[in-house]
Amino acid sequence: MSPANMTRRPPASVRRALRAEAGFGCAACGNPILEYHHIIPWSERHHFEIEHMVALCPNHHREYGKMSRNQAYQVKRNPINVRNKRLKGLLVTNRTNQSLVVGAVRFQGIKTAISVFDHPVIGHSVVDGEIKINCFIPNSNYLAEIEVKSNDFSAEIDSFWDIEFRSNYVCFRKRHGENFLSIDFRGDDVVIWGQFELAGRLLRMNREEFRYGNYGAMSGFSFSGSSEHIAFGLGAPELVLERANHAKLVPSPRLRHRQNGELMPLPVFRLP
């Protein structure tokens, strides 16, 4: 890039590296709305050197612009989200979204869009005409890797390669080019896409399909409660998921048979 057309906005790869370094939020306060601060100022030298830049929210960008470089290096070394191992944020929109679209399927007036073994995974409610999203995306131990409650999200940062946030849009990626989960409030509908393992099978939600495991798109669903609920039960509605609970000496998640109480391990996912 020639200096003449070089702008202060860092290239995508630099922004991603600075986000990841700071735990995908402001190094000082954790806010996921980010700007990229030049610790060695742009006026002194035109550069995008990751070691001399830090991700900050607009407020802290302004503040750190007035502070010593040492203070900026200090906050860069010890970002709050990395200390907490967690990113938190709020999705907001000024649009009235029509309905919830998950993969290629539209949900209207259905509180729980997806559940697995009776456990809500993706759902929504409508409050004063506004869609509020709820998600519980579990890790293999069925603890929340991403949790969204009424548009307030929280994620474990360690497992993500990138988390991109724009107040009305968030996208979680575990590797370059993938979409693990995205929640998008920018259009007429709230659109959720992604691809992740759920109770031993791969759930794929994108523009073309909504597919679970080896089932054909849609054909793996069981519908229950007269359109109140759309559920996966791996064809076994009698099985209910129980999450790990250390107080009750349940070290890992398991399935319980509704009638006879029989316990069995959750299926383990193996990539083909």
Least separation, in Å, of the C-beta of 58 and Zn ion?
8
Least separation, in Å, of the C-beta of 82 and Zn ion?
14
Least separation, in Å, of the C-beta of 10 and Zn ion?
18
User: Is 29 a binder of Zn ion (CB under 5 A)?
Assistant: yes
Which of 28, 101, 110, 231 touches Zn ion (CB under 5 A)?
28
Q: 């995008």: which residue's tokens?
A: 48
Cα–Cα distance for residue pair 150/126, rounded to 1 Å: 10
Q: Are 250 and 133 in contact (CB under 8 A)?
A: no
Indicate the Cα dihedral angle 36, 37, 40, 46, nearest 10°.
Answer: 50
Q: Strand ranges (DSSP E) for 31-174?
A: 35-38, 53-56, 86-90, 100-102, 105-107, 112-116, 119-127, 130-138, 144-149, 152-156, 162-165, 169-173
Question: With contacts defined by CB under 5 A, how many residues of the chain interact with Zn ion?
Answer: 6
Of the pair 28, 231, the CB lying nearest Zn ion is at 28
Of the pair 28, 133, the CB lying nearest Zn ion is at 28
- What single-letter amino acid sits at 125? S
Q: Any residues with CB less than 8 A from the CB of 249 and at least 6 apart, and which?
A: none
Least separation, in Å, of the C-beta of 84 and Zn ion?
14
* Binding track over 206-235 against Zn ion, x by CB under 5 A: ------------------------------
User: Is 199 a binder of Zn ion (CB under 5 A)?
Assistant: no
DSSP 3-state assignment of 133? strand
Least separation, in Å, of the C-beta of 173 and Zn ion?
23
Of the pair 31, 112, the CB lying nearest Zn ion is at 31
Of the pair 56, 155, the CB lying nearest Zn ion is at 56
> What residues numbered 8-27 form the site for Zn ion, per CB under 5 A?
26
Of the pair 60, 173, the CB lying nearest Zn ion is at 60
Q: Are 198 and 267 in contact (CB under 8 A)?
A: no
First to last CA, the chain: 42
Of the pair 36, 193, the CB lying nearest Zn ion is at 36
* Binding track over 56-85 against Zn ion, x by CB under 5 A: -x--x-------------------------
Helix, strand, coil fractions of the chain, as percent rounded to 5? 15, 40, 45
> Per CB under 5 A, which region of 5-13, 28-36, 134-142, 172-180 contacts Zn ion?
28-36
> What residues numbered 38-57 form the site for Zn ion, per CB under 5 A?
57
Cα–Cα distance for residue pair 192/232, rounded to 1 Å: 17
Least separation, in Å, of the C-beta of 242 and Zn ion?
39
Which spans of this chain sit near Zn ion (rule: CB under 5 A)? 26, 28-29, 31, 57, 60
